[in-house]
Amino acid sequence: MVKMPNKCVIDTNVPLTANEATDTDGIINLDFLNCVINCVEVIENIKQQGGLILDAGDEIFTEYRHKLNLSGQPGVGDVL
């Protein structure tokens, strides 16, 4: 399990990489697969413990909206 701080800001690449977990059959690089698994664990920890910080100027949230599906599907990263 990934140890998480009480509050954190995560780069958009974390949920984007976690979204790769929807189809791991196509991932042949073991290092990348481990990265995907770690990103999923980070997101699961944030969901359970809370603590995701969004900026007051909406720069991070705007980037999330452009890169992730706000419906929460289909990937783990879209849940944020």
Residue 46 lies in a domain: yes
Confidence of residue 3 (pLDDT cuts 50, 70, 90): low
Give me the domain span that covers residue 60.
13-79
The total of structural domains in the chain comes to: 1
| 8 belongs to a structural domain | no
Residue 35 within any structural domain of the chain: yes
Whether 5 is covered by a domain: the verdict is no
Predicted model pTM:
0.72
69 lies in some domain: yes
pLDDT in tens, 52-76: 777 778 887 788 778 888 787 888 7
> What's the 3-state SS for the chain?
CCCCCCCECCCCHHHHHHHHHHHHHHCCCHHHHHHHHHHHHHHHHHHHHCCECCCCCCHHHHHHHHHCCCCCCCCHHHHC
End-to-end CA distance of the chain: 19
Residue 4 maps to a domain: no
